[in-house]
Structure 1
Amino acid sequence: MATTPQNPDHKPPVPSDGAAVVLERKTQRVEPPKMYQVVLLNDDFTPMEFVVLVLQEYFNKDRETATQIMLKIHLEGRGVCGVFTHDLATTKVEQVLQAARHHGHPLQCLAEPVE
């Protein structure tokens, strides 16, 4: 059953005193999502080659870039693998930790907010 619209002419409502109604459009400012960097931490047991493979597999780094990041991790104790939204960063951390455990390595990975 069809209903008849309340205002078939689609005219804006007019107050009973005859004054016009002004509709204002307010623009909303949406903040960009907070970003997180995924960091790999150095340890004395995880093979360097495994770290390079993780960087290639989970962070889409080419071999040369992955090797440079791995050396930074080895020499400085930590290295940034990429910057992502919170959901993606936590997913990457879980994937890396799962892969490391599966291969018997104690590799540590974490996500920290970018300031």
Structure 2
Amino acid sequence: GNGYLADVGLARAAEATAGSNGQVSHLSTQRIFGKPGYMDPIIMHDNQASQLTDGFALGITLLVALTGRGAVGLLNACEDELEEPDTAKEGIAASDAGWPAAQAEELARLVVGLALVRKKR
């Protein structure tokens, strides 16, 4: 698959709307544009963008580059594969990508783990 990454500046726009104390938790918007699979579910459900939602697209882009698969459903697929004991043997990375298996699995676990921590919040 092809990875897409764009800095849309949503987190920066949220910072610009911060109050006098400089604190901001999110930016709400009425119009949402994005590539399926790369948009954070928080944006899709709540129309709220933040530094966390900017990071989601980066994580998905890393998984696309790692696995060579499309973004839609990739996070859940990687989560499932990382729970399987055969993943360490077979590897999660695309076979023609040349990723060292241990580093590929470590990167996938990092990205998936960060997304899961956010889900639990």
Which category describes the TM-score, using the shorter chain as reference length?
A: under 0.3
* Greater share of helix: 2
* Greater share of strand: 1
Q: Which has the higher contact order (CA 8 A, sep 6+)?
A: 1
Structure 1 length-normalised TM:
0.26
